[in-house]
Amino acid sequence: MPVATAAADDGRVMAAPGDIVDVVVNAGQPARHAFSYSVPLGMTLQPGQAVFVPFGAKVLQGIVLGPAGETPESGLRDIAAIADERVLLDPAHVALARWMSATYLAPLWECVSTCLPAGFGQRPVTMVTPVDVPPLLPVDRTDQRILAYLAEHGRTALDVLREAAGTVTIARLSRLQEQGMLTVAQGLARPRGHERFERRIALAGGPAEARAAVERLRAANPRSIEARLLEALADAGEITLTGARELGVTPRHVARLVAEALVEERAVQVDRDPIAGRSFASRGTPVLSPEQAAAANVVGARDGTTLLHGVTGSGKTEVYITLVQETLEAGRGAIILVPEISLTPQAIRRYGERFGTTIAVIHSGLSDGELYDTWFRVHEGRARVVLGSRSALFAPVNDLGLIVIDEEHEPSYKQSDPQPRYHARAAAEELARMTGARVVLGSATPDITTFHRAERGEIGYAVLEQRLAPAPGGGFTEAVLPQVQIVDMREELKAGNRHVFSRALVRAAGAALRSGEQVLLFVNRRGSARFILCRDCGNVAECPSCGTPMSLQADDGELPRTVCHNCGRTRRLDATCPRCGSTRYRPFGAGTQRIEMEARRAFPHARVARWDSQTAARKGAHDALVRGLEERSIDVVVGTQVLAKGLDLAGLTVVGVVDADVGLNLPMYSAPERTFQLVSQVIGRAGRRDRQGIAIIQTYSPEAPALQAAATGDYRAFFEHELPHRRRAGYPPFARLARLTFHHPDEEHGLEEASRVGTELRARRDAAGRAEPEVLGPSPAYIRRLRGEYRWQLLLRGHAPARL
């Protein structure tokens, strides 16, 4: 079989008639492989082009990946048609999609689709079409309803017809088709993503000709609408239909002028750009501090990945900007990823001021139209710098030279739903390998695994230890880190303080508020698991078999039970603390609403605002809140982890971590790490300018290493404490975890299925004579019930769990 040989101008392989190519098909099946097709006579193709292919009885969309990998069997079908002349995917993205599919066991189409413009996928639909001559009305009621609907609405998609006419079976439609009453055909739904065109009216000739016509029309009718339109056009050249309507112009007027060849109608493609119309004050490249310059050099001197480890406020962003600048000067493009929630207008402004309109912004809050147009702006090289959240990694930047992942430790870089379930950091490194780009992972509190890699020399390491602030006259000045105090809440109880705020916090916050400064109260709320805490001795109920904090089981029967989310073990909740016998041994954790209420009570003169996932759900809420804080119309903000990032407020001097224990006692191995990161981030918000910040951490376990290290800002101390634990317990970076989640409306059924799969996996592992991966569970998922379904999980732990 001839395999593609000719090369296109850019060195890309072309496929010609007779060649066999691999096509990934949007078939709605979880296939992890492509399908082979032959290229018909008269067609030449390039890998990365969109095509239509026959698939079973349907014609579906697909993307050509390249020459067929294996010598395929005979009887191959031809590609039906080319869907788009443009080459949508370059070889690097084709390879990235294949890598994701293999690594994350995800359907190949879904992986390819993440690299395509938004809303590109077309669903197959069944279309029902009426016949021209209306048939005699049938006797059957349902038949009548179907035909009546079709007669009125014309060609209709089957699901629409079903909504209108009740149960419409394929068998019924086939019968009606045989009787010559309608036709049924397969088609593809219109893609959600497409260009938008705007109708405009323009002069057909020159302005002089138009003005002459204005005179003529006015002579006949001084209030001529046509004259008014021509006059506007003589000034502006062209005008939108909406603009014309505002002048009182109707389609009749336009038609008359078109007939006289004075104007013409045009459809102009509009670029839907979320930052269009934003003008940025342009700023030059920053003058870096010696430490920043050294860090930038470390990154520049090394291929591959470098960790940029810089304390909060050390000016990592300025280093990124310098690196992007260098990348652009070398003629290459860049991608900057930030956690979704830190993609605030301030962040966009910081990059916009340096790179102007060559930046493209991509995040999940944009419309399909905006995403679609932005994708093509990047694809065509009109934008060279992409700034966005997780999914921006897949933007088709030409000649990619740099990928920055800011706050690389953030969990939001992991996509857990929908497919493909990937980690943007791993995918970025893979993409960089294929494009020769550099990767910079920036964080004040790197992921344990990332830091471990840097320690072993697998990736580069650059460090920023000095906190900076912009100097009033330009440039930078050194800034101080906040003073941190850990408050033992058991002592508060003993002293008779039963409030959620310690005396130290009330004192510090009160003083700040009196001098017109702002206070942030951080409440850690994630999911619904509530752990059991003794208020007198700080004891936490732990799983006897694996040491994970036990959670209160949601269905509270007569005797409350606790459950381990790690291994699934359940236990009756003790009535008193097994360690000290106290009766104050109960579930712990208050919601943000409750803390907000307490804050209003404690600081009656302060203007208090709440920021959590509930208040954040409203569009524009984040911006409004940040504005309120900047303009000082908010004195106290009570919020969850969404507040921990990105805020750079001059007036914020006191940060209180209200319930540090909640994070520490989450039922997952990464709980201490996550708590260390969150607490470090959130206390880093205090005193970012000239004033000394104060941070107060309230806890029942003041000796916890995660809190101690966060308080002293000692990353290494935390790392050195945590790593041996991970090694002993067999958690990352010493093993990999894979979680299988089972969800079903019936709780028992989900559990049975999870148990069955668990047993099967263990049996297969044993049959292969392997000791790993370990199969843990089934246990209730951390979020036990979601969208009306119960969720159970199995955890696989080992060096390559995906293999099993």
Q: Site residues (CB under 6 A) for ligand ADP?
A: 286-289, 292, 310, 312-318, 468-470, 475-476, 648
Instruction: Rank residues 622 and 797 by Cβ distance to Zn ion and give the closer one.
Output: 797
Q: Report the alpha-carbon distance of residue 673 to residue 680 in Å, rounded.
A: 11
CB of 320 to ligand ADP, least distance (A): 8
State the binding partner of 289 from Zn ion, ligand ADP, none, CB within 5 to 8 A by kind: ligand ADP
Q: Quick one: tokens of 448?
A: 């344990």
Cα dihedral: 187, 190, 195, 199 (round 10):
100
493: contact with Zn ion by CB under 5 A = no
Cα–Cα nearest to 419, from 748, 730, 113, 767: 113
Instruction: Report the Cα 541 to chain-centroid distance in Å.
Output: 35
Q: Report the alpha-carbon distance of residue 609 to residue 600 in Å, rounded.
A: 10
489: contact with Zn ion by CB under 5 A = no
Q: What is the DSSP string of 698-723?
A: EES-TT-HHHHHHHHT-HHHHHHHHH
566: contact with Zn ion by CB under 5 A = yes
CB of 670 to ligand ADP, least distance (A): 22
State the binding partner of 582 from Zn ion, ligand ADP, none, CB within 5 to 8 A by kind: Zn ion
Instruction: Rank residues 338 and 666 by Cβ distance to ligand ADP and give the closer one.
Output: 338
Instruction: Rank residues 576 and 633 by Cβ distance to Zn ion and give the closer one.
Output: 576
Q: Report the alpha-carbon distance of residue 76 to residue 153 in Å, rounded.
A: 39
Q: ∠ CA(612), CA(617), CA(619), 5° rounding?
A: 125
Cα–Cα nearest to 438, from 576, 529, 307: 307
Applying CB under 5 A, which part among 31-39, 233-241, 509-517, 530-538 lies near Zn ion? 530-538
State the binding partner of 580 from Zn ion, ligand ADP, none, CB within 5 to 8 A by kind: Zn ion
Which residues, 6 or more positions from 606, have their beta carbon under 8 angstroms from its beta carbon? 513, 519, 599, 600, 635, 636
Applying CB under 5 A, which part among 346-354, 448-456, 525-533, 537-545 lies near Zn ion? 537-545
Q: Quick one: tokens of 775?
A: 């199969």
Instruction: Rank residues 445 and 665 by Cβ distance to ligand ADP and give the closer one.
Output: 445
CB of 459 to ligand ADP, least distance (A): 19
CB of 609 to ligand ADP, least distance (A): 23
Q: What is the DSSP letter of 647?
A: -
CB of 293 to ligand ADP, least distance (A): 9
Instruction: Give the other-Cβ count within 10 Å of 414's Cβ.
Output: 13
Residue listed under structure tokens 């480890």? 309
Burial code (b: 16+ CB inside 10 Å, e: under 16) for 306-322 equals bbbbbbbbbbbbbbbbb
State the binding partner of 734 from ligand ADP, Zn ion, none, CB within 5 to 8 A by kind: none
State the binding partner of 317 from ligand ADP, Zn ion, none, CB within 5 to 8 A by kind: ligand ADP
459-462 contact pairs (CB < 8 A, 24+): 459/304, 459/305, 459/306, 459/307, 460/298, 460/299, 460/302, 460/304, 460/305, 460/306, 460/307, 461/298, 461/306, 461/307, 461/309, 462/294, 462/295, 462/296, 462/298, 462/299, 462/306, 462/307, 462/308, 462/309
Cα–Cα nearest to 244, from 260, 261, 263, 259: 263
For the chain, the maximum distance between any two Cα atoms, rounded to a whole number of angstroms, is 102
State the binding partner of 476 from ligand ADP, Zn ion, none, CB within 5 to 8 A by kind: ligand ADP
Instruction: Rank residues 477 and 483 by Cβ distance to ligand ADP and give the closer one.
Output: 477
Please work out the total of residues on this chain that contact Zn ion, with binding judged by CB under 5 A: 16
Residue nearest to ligand ADP (CB): 315
State the binding partner of 648 from ligand ADP, Zn ion, none, CB within 5 to 8 A by kind: ligand ADP
Instruction: Rank residues 46 and 548 by Cβ distance to Zn ion and give the closer one.
Output: 548
β-partners of residue 263 are: 203
CB of 312 to ligand ADP, least distance (A): 5
Binding Zn ion (rule: CB under 5 A), the pick from 105, 148, 480, 567 is 567
What sign does the CA torsion over 340, 344, 345, 347 have?
A: negative
CB of 416 to Zn ion, least distance (A): 22
State the binding partner of 502 from ligand ADP, Zn ion, none, CB within 5 to 8 A by kind: none
Amino acid at the residue 47: P
CB of 469 to ligand ADP, least distance (A): 5
CB of 308 to ligand ADP, least distance (A): 9
CB of 626 to ligand ADP, least distance (A): 14
Q: Report the alpha-carbon distance of residue 306 to residue 302 in Å, rounded.
A: 8
Q: What character string, x for contact with Zn ion (CB under 5 A) and - otherwise, covers 128-147?
A: --------------------
State the binding partner of 680 from Zn ion, ligand ADP, none, CB within 5 to 8 A by kind: none
State the binding partner of 313 from Zn ion, ligand ADP, none, CB within 5 to 8 A by kind: ligand ADP
Q: Which of residues 257-276 bind Zn ion (CB under 5 A)?
A: none
Instruction: Rank residues 442 and 773 by Cβ distance to ligand ADP and give the closer one.
Output: 442
Q: Quick one: tokens of 598?
A: 């307490």
State the binding partner of 310 from ligand ADP, Zn ion, none, CB within 5 to 8 A by kind: ligand ADP
289: contact with Zn ion by CB under 5 A = no
CB of 328 to ligand ADP, least distance (A): 19
Q: Report the alpha-carbon distance of residue 668 to residue 155 in Å, rounded.
A: 53
State the binding partner of 469 from ligand ADP, Zn ion, none, CB within 5 to 8 A by kind: ligand ADP
Binding Zn ion (rule: CB under 5 A), the pick from 579, 601, 716, 799 is 579
Beta strand 636-639 pairing with 694-699: unpaired
CB of 776 to Zn ion, least distance (A): 8
Instruction: Rank residues 645 and 765 by Cβ distance to ligand ADP and give the closer one.
Output: 645
Instruction: Give the other-Cβ count within 10 Å of 51's Cβ.
Output: 22
Q: Cα–Cα distances in Å, from 63 out to 28, 31, 35, 106, 300?
A: 14, 14, 10, 17, 36
80: contact with Zn ion by CB under 5 A = no
Which residues, 6 or more positions from 110, have their beta carbon under 8 angstroms from its beta carbon? 101, 418, 419, 420
CB of 309 to ligand ADP, least distance (A): 10
Q: What is the SS3 assignment for 639? A: strand
Q: Quick one: tokens of 255?
A: 């038609």
CB of 698 to Zn ion, least distance (A): 18
- 58: part of which helix (H) or strand (E)? strand 58-67
CB of 451 to ligand ADP, least distance (A): 17
Binding Zn ion (rule: CB under 5 A), the pick from 489, 500, 564, 595 is 564
546: contact with Zn ion by CB under 5 A = yes
Binding Zn ion (rule: CB under 5 A), the pick from 185, 293, 301, 580 is 580
Q: What is the SS3 assignment for 793? A: strand
Instruction: Rank residues 446 and 777 by Cβ distance to Zn ion and give the closer one.
Output: 777
Residues lying near Zn ion in the complex (CB under 5 A): 534, 536-537, 539, 543, 545-546, 548, 564, 566-567, 569, 577, 579-580, 582
